[in-house]
Copies of this chain bind each other. A is one copy, B any other.
Amino acid sequence: MTTPATSDGPAPGTALARSQAARRRRVLDAALRLAERGGFDAVQMRDVATEANVALGTVYRYFTSKERLLLEAMVEEIEALAARLEARPPVGVTPAARVVEVLSRGTASLQRHPEVTGAMVRAFGAADEADVVRRVGEIMTGIITGVMHHGPPTPRDLAVARTLQQVWLSALIGWVGGVDEPSRVVADLETATELLLGDGEEPVG
């Protein structure tokens, strides 16, 4: 155990830290580039290493498995997504409208790079990556709670948000697995939001 795998790296700002951060970035970028066309299967660790100008062993020093690599990429992507959503908040007047808006925009963003999202979602089943998986879920949940009210979320808000996040994940799995149409993801989220936060519009049918 030296630096990348565990936490406390070298003093931040040093040359070492910088070159390592750069390496890590190159690896992540290479993975994303490969995922972009070809999805999960196209992200082959040897290719990632080559594209990142790094030895295969180095890839594994930074990311303990292919799945972790993809999941960490997902954390980044979804954090960026959360930031964009925060920068340009939804405009709906009811919580339900805002939630739907934020989920739709998030989903649209993910669906813009289907192969990449597919690769990431496929990594979700991984064993031994609980921490990253948890982080992804938390960010997703945070995206939702963030737009429900002004103040801090109530317990009920948290429950609703968690439920929606679970629907989101399952719907994404259904989509990338080819079980459902892409549009089904947003449709499911609208339905669920309606059921959970019923905004007084017409009922389901």
Report which A residues bind B (CB closer than 8 A): 39-41, 118, 121-130, 133-134, 137, 154-156, 159-160, 162-163, 165-167, 169-171, 173-174, 177-179, 188, 191-192, 195-196, 203-205
Contact = CB atoms under 8 A, between A and B. Distances in A.
A191 B161 CA distance: 11
Contacts of A137: 174, 179
A155 B134 CA distance: 33
A167 B156 contact: no
B177 A170 contact: no
A170 B134 CA distance: 12
A177 B129 contact: yes
B179 A173 contact: no
Given A162-B188, A167-B170, A171-B166, A125 B134 contact: no
